[in-house]
Amino acid sequence: MLNHSIHSTLGSMMRPSILTLAMFVGVKLNVSIVLASVMMIDWIAWPLHMLPHFLFELNECRRGMRRIQRFLMLDEI
């Protein structure tokens, strides 16, 4: 639930903040640039949302591999 709330808060703030920063820097914005930036932000939103789950699963995989390795290195085998 915490991941979802952080993701939704940051996701809703990303679009206006990026466009405001572009206007502040002096980039001339037109409709195609705005739509393309919104579309690209939407493309990266899902992988960023799933990143904590992926890192957890990666850690669990590493832990499982270490357990298998310790089992295979036992002297009794």
Mean local confidence (pLDDT), 54-62: 93
Burial label, 49 (beta-carbon count in 10 A; 0-12, 13-18, 19+): middle
pLDDT at 76: 64
The per-residue pLDDT for range 7-27, each reduced to its tens digit, is 677 667 777 777 788 888 888
CA–CA gap between residue 38 and residue 12 (Å, rounded): 11
pLDDT at 11: 66
Each domain of the chain, given as residue ranges in start order, spans 2-72
The per-residue pLDDT for range 30-50, each reduced to its tens digit, is 888 888 877 887 787 777 778
